[in-house]
Amino acid sequence: MPKQKEANLLQTLQRGMEAFMLVARTPGGLLVAEIADRLGVNRAIAYRIVATLESDGFVTRGSGGRIYLGGAVLALAAGIEPQMRALIGPALKRLAEAAGATAFLSVGRGNEAEAVLVAESEAGLIRVGYRVGSRHPLNRGAAGIAILAGRPAAQGEDPAVTQARADGFSLTRGELQRGAVGIAAPLRLGPGGGFEASVGVVALDDLDTGLVTPLVVDAAREITRMQALPP
């Protein structure tokens, strides 16, 4: 294949991936014109990119011509989960044991945070349960607030989100369960950091937050570094 043609194909692939990630990061969807502006290409190229992604089911058109993620993403997510479990599971278990608490990895699902991985400490007789698949609003609980803190600052946002962004972690007490303390730090998962997520712990009110908070922040850094390593 001629080098120029190969370079053009690689550029097209890169733009397609960038467009896909732009849509993934925008819950309200994007117009083709907005995609063109953000990619720095003309609308004709943006239309071709969107049409290609649409033909494979990775994006779909909603009302008003806005572009959203398509059903093929669910199949992609199904393949990601076992890899995520194998890669992040051990780090989550280490956090749980070091903190003496239940550790979790949550991802953003629309306006909610969903627990996708959970590891429990072997220490102690009483633990706070955190079920895989459980959801709660992003603006309640450490996991959701940490996810919001991973986004750019927004006018009128909850002061707790602003504080979590400045601190690098969120700490909440009794928001989701009476007597429970949650600590979480924001991170991004997947290619290009397209999946909003947080890692943290939840325990009873006697949790030593001064000791555990650095462990949570370090776990977020470790998971972020993992994604930069070659397989």
Please report the domains of the chain, with CATH numbers, ordered by start residue. 3-70 (1.10.10.10), 73-228 (3.30.450.40)
60 and 70 in contact (C-beta within 8 Å)? yes
Alpha-carbon torsion, ordered 16, 21, 23, 24, to 10 deg = 140
| Spans of the chain, pLDDT less than 70 | 1-10, 74-81, 83-84, 124-130, 189-195, 227-231
What is the Cα–Cα distance from 41 to 171, expressed in whole angstroms? 42
Q: What is the reported pTM?
A: 0.66
C-alpha pair distances (Å), 9 with each of 13, 19, 53, 75: 6, 15, 15, 25
Tens digits of per-residue pLDDT, 188-216?
Answer: 765 555 567 899 999 887 788 999 999 99
User: Is the distance from CB of 106 to CB of 144 less than 8 angstroms?
Assistant: yes
DSSP character at residue 139: T
